[in-house]
A and B are shown apart, each in its own frame.
Chain A
């Protein structure tokens, strides 16, 4: 998919660009309001990642332009302003999602994919990873066509993993994805550890391979690379 990232901090902008390009996307960047509105007007994008505070304008105005011009692109706001008013306002004028800085790139990636799936396939698209087949809209997972019985959080974990395959997912990023950022608990890491063990076992029972690799003690990677 084709993504435009609008963000004034050059370092963060390139982090996002690199991450999304490694996922196989075409990623363009705009460091300010001016170049963003220019690009949006000329090129078609599937997803816009918009920072609200820009040196020469507001990201909210870019969203207004997009909506006014009837440009069909999914919009995710990224903002350091965790102001509730901004969030509500942003969603009201037509943004699809809102992420507060600092966010995990894996989280942004998962949200972009989910949004893309909702927009383009109406959510009716399977995510396939070798023998694993995920139907996000029905919360179902199949391994070798056998249904996998999962708790809600287990489903969220595997969905998040597959969306970010081959990437290091830190325990913090997984916990935040599962519970939101206002639940920080030591227990959640233990929980993740135990449930990943369960997940491995369940997948193995259905003849699936073990793709969950523990990376030091910092997190996990879902990968079929050795």
Chain B
């Protein structure tokens, strides 16, 4: 539920609770004041009657007089107000009246006079109150709803702008996210906090990245030295079989280490967007070259290869394109089995490579992880696909993997 709805809901609930209170209070207030007013009218009338009687000695005409009766001398009832219902035959209804009974002297006689004044019909009053209150509340709610909406649209505009800007936030991007300033203090505060947060995250990320780069860069020279010395050691004739095997493992592990750090460096370079060139890359000729380079090893493994390439060009960095397709084709060769096959198909919107291989129960998501090998005993490092994923991310390509028993298919959508 968005904010404007939530607020409106609460306004609505509040007005709904307010409604009976308003009707009730209105009812009693109006009743009270009407009674007060009617009392006044009746009192005035009684005073007028009294005055006229004293002056003229006869009862004046009055619209309110309902009854007069002569009462004994010693009658001592007080003047009093009262309510009564009278059945009016002409409308077939009980009508409420306010009464005022008072006693006056007419000469030597005492006369008890009742004044009646018609009162509002309460049912009707309630009905009208209900209607008018409803109208007022509807107007109120409508107004609130409208204003609330406008405030939401206007005051929150920078907020939503910033929100979508933040959604596109990418830590690897060089330029900072530009937040639209707001006049509202809370938003200003929020902007400040978010900006500080982004800067901190960026700084940490930068440090981490530099650390990674330095590590993989700095290990290269020592690794080169280790390898050179191991070759010298292996060349010497004085090693016994066991020592020679030790030296060989050290040499091989140093090689592996060097490859890992080279691959990791490549990944961080891709992440750093150091490959900025947009060449018009002829994909079919890239694939041709790679296949030619591996031709003999493909033949050696007795792999049947069928290639169906349209002439396709894609805008991307030549070197990355080379890495991407080398990894895909290399995978298909490496994980293939003796006498298997590779099918390649290139059309203007996708490249598809299918190869036979072992059955692996690894999920697609796992396959793209770093250091994930489809095949435990293989010598590969498991970095190729995560490099490919990074390359695809840059250009918005999509890389899908599908497995049907021993048939593995990678589809690359440009």
Chain A residues with a Cβ under 8 A of chain B: 9, 11-12, 15, 19, 80-85, 100-105, 151-153, 167-168, 170, 172, 179-188, 190-191, 194-195, 215-219
Contact A172–B252 (Cβ < 8 Å): yes
Contacts A11-B225, A182-B326 known; 16 new A-B pairs at CB < 8 A: A80-B217, A82-B266, A83-B269, A102-B220, A102-B221, A104-B227, A182-B323, A185-B334, A185-B380, A187-B301, A191-B296, A194-B300, A216-B245, A218-B234, A218-B244, A218-B248
Range of interface residues on B (Cβ < 8 Å)? 35 or more
Contact A184–B380 (Cβ < 8 Å): yes
For A100, what are the chain B residues with a Cβ–Cβ distance below 8 Å? 262
Whether A185 contacts B379 in the complex (CB less than 8 A), given A12-B225, A85-B274, A102-B227, comes out as yes
* Interface residue? B255 (CB, 8 A): yes
Cα–Cα, bound, A83→B220 (Å): 14
Report B196-239 residues with CB < 8 Å from chain A CB.
Answer: 217-218, 220-221, 223-225, 227-229, 231, 234-235
Q: Separation in Å of the A140 CB from the closest CB of chain B?
A: 18
Q: Separation in Å of the B381 CB from the closest CB of chain A?
A: 7
A–B pairs, 28, beta carbons within 8 Å: A11-B225, A12-B224, A83-B269, A85-B274, A100-B262, A102-B220, A102-B258, A105-B228, A153-B296, A168-B231, A168-B234, A170-B234, A179-B293, A179-B297, A183-B294, A183-B326, A183-B330, A184-B259, A184-B380, A184-B381, A185-B330, A186-B334, A186-B378, A186-B379, A191-B300, A194-B300, A216-B245, A217-B248
* Interface residue? B389 (CB, 8 A): no
Cα–Cα, bound, A158→B234 (Å): 21
Contact B296–A184 (Cβ < 8 Å): no
For A191, what are the chain B residues with a Cβ–Cβ distance below 8 Å? 296-297, 300
For A19, what are the chain B residues with a Cβ–Cβ distance below 8 Å? 228
Whether A9 contacts B244 in the complex (CB less than 8 A), given A82-B265, A184-B380, A191-B296, comes out as no
Whether A103 contacts B224 in the complex (CB less than 8 A), given A185-B379, A216-B244, comes out as yes
Interface code B291-303, partner A: CB below 8 Å = 1, 0 otherwise?
Answer: 0011011001100
Q: Separation in Å of the B221 CB from the closest CB of chain A?
A: 5
Cα–Cα, bound, A12→B229 (Å): 10
Q: Separation in Å of the A184 CB from the closest CB of chain B?
A: 6
Whether A172 contacts B221 in the complex (CB less than 8 A), given A84-B274, A183-B326, comes out as no
For A153, what are the chain B residues with a Cβ–Cβ distance below 8 Å? 296
